[in-house]
Amino acid sequence: MLKEDKEAQEPDLLRSQCRHYHRIKITIVFFLLAGICLFLFGRLTYFMVFQAQHYAEKAQELHERERSIKAARGRILDRNGLTLADNKTVCTVSVIYNQIQDREEVIRVLCKELDLSEEYVRKRVEKYSSMERIKSNVDKETGDRIREYDLAGVKVDEDYKRFYPYNELASKVLGFTGSDNQGILGLEVKYEEYLQGKKGQILTVTDAKGIEVEREGERRIEPIAGKDLVTSLDLNIQSYATQLATQAMLTKEARSVSIIVMNAKNGELYAMANVPEFDLNEPYEVTDAALTDFLKKKTPEAENFDLAAAREALSQEETQEILNGIWRNACINDTYEPGSTFKIITAAAGLEAGVVTPQSTFSCPGYIMVDDRRIRCHKTTGHGGQDFVHAIMNSCNPSFVTLGLRLGVERYYGYFEQFGLKQKTGVDLPGEAGTIMHKMEDMGNVELATVSFGQSFQITALQLLTTAASIVNGGNRVTPHFGIKAVDPETGEETVFDYPVESGIVSAETSETMRYLLEMVVSEGGGKNGAVEGYRIGGKTATSQTLPRGTGQYISSFLAFAPADDPEIISIAIINRPKGVYYGGQIAAPILRQLYENILPYLGIEMYNQEETTQSED
């Protein structure tokens, strides 16, 4: 007991001693700090009151004025070296108060040449500051003209502005830059580290009155130009794809049309058109079409809109919302339900697993029962008995549901992952959307059945195209991309980009069978409108509903590759919400037919010699 008490008392004693000591310490520190503060305050007052004049003079005696020199941003080039994004020399006009001799003349000239109000210019010219900016982004001719007046106190600095010679072309791929020439969207932002370069500086030493000291002159730190980005984009193919997409959008009164053209063997993207595109030289312009869409969404019942008034009334958030919509790259930023083009994946999975061969037979009475659900075929009277070749040619839903059920949830899910559908494609553009798929544990027979013909999950158009490419190219999953290399414009030094390729996605045999099946779809099946005279084309059509379902709106698409026996090119055309006829085989297939008629000869892909093959078949 006693021992315990002693132990309990001792710490109390220690604690009180400690407290006393602390109090002393705090008091000392307080007085010390107070003393220092008082001293500093005294010194400061002394400098501010008594020495102000002396120091101000000293500071102004010699003073360096710093101006930065923008680095030329690297250009973006197409695969043939044509310039898609360039720099235009622009000027920034400024005035230096202390150097101006004839104030009225300066005001008069700047108002006239820069088309500015006298009030605006006078306020800046008469403002006492070391350097006052009057206007930036002045075109070079105007800048040169102002220089010729040789007015004291007026500075014309050259600067760069991003310039897109083809305005709207590939707008959602190239992207644009902000006020400080930094990438904001698309390849411009993805390749910022190569394109941006390094700013330089001009140091001007001036005397107390702001007048340049002659003998000191200017010290310049030269800027380092950014690297040029060579892309896989082909200006001709992109232009033609854009033209076809625009034509389809207008004739079908569709909301939007996208076309992707890719090299099936290495993933180089030749074209990615998303109409409506936007003008890269005016990226912040809220277009009439976008504004109308926005207003329609807000008040669906209204018919006519006063666009001018609506434009005035837009809040900053609303404007940004509309711009984000205008800038969206539907091929990679948006997901959709692919529909029947996804039968390519189900067929490949079935062939890989050995649960189907081209000779396997299926029967279609116009529907199929899965658990308690009745899933219809698009041909309500049924396709009857048919082999697998005809099942895919006819795009028969019950046949594909049967195939999916034969695989079962686990195996189907395994192929979905093996084919790379759960990952992103890794395309070199920002904001790629991921796949929206059931969790395996949530998948029952009904979900499996709908996935088998491309419904109840969502992927991007580029994901579908990339997966289809790996299925028909011999089993190599390529990384779709635009960037080929960055080139130093002065030294010519190159940084070549490489991209992962995963082989063995499907076996060579499965790939070969898939090429055959999909060629049959185009030569004799639902993809007939995609056939191109003299070329072997493989492909698959789709007509899917927009989500949420039940609005009576559709997405029509066609995916096709050529030549069918050894694919070099693979493409997809997607029409979003067409009016009137909406079947992919009728409206999307002809788009790629026209595209291929034009670009296959352009790419030097040889025509198929029919005679030779007929002989060998005999």
Q: Which residues are marked as active site?
A: 340
- 451 touching Zn ion, by CB under 5 A: no
Taking the complex as a whole, the smallest distance from the CB of residue 436 to Zn ion amounts, in Å, to 27
Nearer to Zn ion, 111 or 396 (CB): 396
Asked if 143 contacts 110 with a C-beta cutoff of 8 angstroms, the reply is no
Among positive and negative, which fits the CA dihedral 74, 80, 83, 84? negative
| 3-class state of residue 123 by DSSP | helix
Taking the complex as a whole, the smallest distance from the CB of residue 376 to Zn ion amounts, in Å, to 9
Taking the complex as a whole, the smallest distance from the CB of residue 549 to Zn ion amounts, in Å, to 21
Taking the complex as a whole, the smallest distance from the CB of residue 362 to Zn ion amounts, in Å, to 8
Among 202, 195, 160, which residue's Cα sits nearest to residue 68? 202
Counted residue by residue, the chain has a size of 618
Asked if 242 contacts 248 with a C-beta cutoff of 8 angstroms, the reply is no
Among 73, 161, 343, 383, binds Zn ion (CB under 5 A): 383
Among positive and negative, which fits the CA dihedral 457, 460, 465, 469? negative
Among 110, 245, 396, 518, binds Zn ion (CB under 5 A): 396
Total number of residues that touch Zn ion (CB under 5 A): 4
Nearer to Zn ion, 252 or 383 (CB): 383
- 345 to 118, 321, 592: CA distances (angstroms): 68, 36, 21
- 377 touching Zn ion, by CB under 5 A: yes
| 3-class state of residue 170 by DSSP | coil
Nearest-angstrom CA–CA distance, 261 and 240: 11
- 78 to 90, 491, 574: CA distances (angstroms): 24, 20, 24
Say which residues have a Cβ less than 8 Å from residue 233's Cβ, sequence separation at least 6: 78, 79, 84, 170, 173, 269, 270, 271, 272, 482
Taking the complex as a whole, the smallest distance from the CB of residue 364 to Zn ion amounts, in Å, to 3
Among 268, 196, 272, 190, which residue's Cα sits nearest to residue 228? 196
Taking the complex as a whole, the smallest distance from the CB of residue 415 to Zn ion amounts, in Å, to 23
Taking the complex as a whole, the smallest distance from the CB of residue 356 to Zn ion amounts, in Å, to 16
| 3-class state of residue 305 by DSSP | coil
- According to DSSP, the residues that pair with 256 across neighbouring strands are 576
Nearest-angstrom CA–CA distance, 249 and 257: 6
- Pairing of β 154-163 and β 83-95: antiparallel
Tokens 């306020």 appear where?
123
Nearest-angstrom CA–CA distance, 376 and 369: 9
- How many other CB atoms are found less than 10 A from the CB of residue 370? 21
Query: Distance from CA of residue 529 to its chain's centroid?
Result: 31
Nearer to Zn ion, 241 or 364 (CB): 364
Nearer to Zn ion, 351 or 377 (CB): 377
- 518 touching Zn ion, by CB under 5 A: no
Nearer to Zn ion, 242 or 386 (CB): 386
Taking the complex as a whole, the smallest distance from the CB of residue 527 to Zn ion amounts, in Å, to 16
Taking the complex as a whole, the smallest distance from the CB of residue 366 to Zn ion amounts, in Å, to 7
Nearer to Zn ion, 135 or 383 (CB): 383
Asked if 231 contacts 482 with a C-beta cutoff of 8 angstroms, the reply is yes
Nearest-angstrom CA–CA distance, 311 and 284: 13
Of the listed pieces 220-228, 395-403, 487-495, 533-541, which binds Zn ion according to CB under 5 A? 395-403
Taking the complex as a whole, the smallest distance from the CB of residue 375 to Zn ion amounts, in Å, to 10
Question: Rule CB under 5 A: which of 560-589 touch Zn ion?
Answer: none
Nearer to Zn ion, 195 or 396 (CB): 396
Nearer to Zn ion, 258 or 340 (CB): 340
Of the listed pieces 68-76, 184-192, 262-270, 388-396, which binds Zn ion according to CB under 5 A? 388-396
CA angle 218, 222, 223 (to 5 degrees): 135
| Region at 277 (left for phi over 0; alpha for psi -120 to 50; beta for the rest) | beta
Nearer to Zn ion, 383 or 540 (CB): 383
DSSP 8-state secondary structure symbol assigned to residue 435: P
Taking the complex as a whole, the smallest distance from the CB of residue 234 to Zn ion amounts, in Å, to 39
Of the listed pieces 66-74, 305-313, 392-400, 570-578, which binds Zn ion according to CB under 5 A? 392-400
Nearer to Zn ion, 225 or 451 (CB): 451
Nearest-angstrom CA–CA distance, 407 and 227: 51
Nearest-angstrom CA–CA distance, 209 and 212: 9
Neighbour-count burial for 595-617, b at 16+ CB within 10 Å, e otherwise: bbebbbeebebeebeeeeeeeee
Among 53, 24, 328, 65, which residue's Cα sits nearest to residue 213? 65
Question: Rule CB under 5 A: which of 352-371 touch Zn ion?
Answer: 364
Of the listed pieces 217-225, 244-252, 379-387, 537-545, which binds Zn ion according to CB under 5 A? 379-387
DSSP 8-state secondary structure symbol assigned to residue 365: S
DSSP 8-state secondary structure symbol assigned to residue 75: P
Taking the complex as a whole, the smallest distance from the CB of residue 359 to Zn ion amounts, in Å, to 18
Nearer to Zn ion, 258 or 399 (CB): 399
Nearer to Zn ion, 269 or 344 (CB): 344
Binding site residues, Zn ion, CB under 5 A: 364, 377, 383, 396
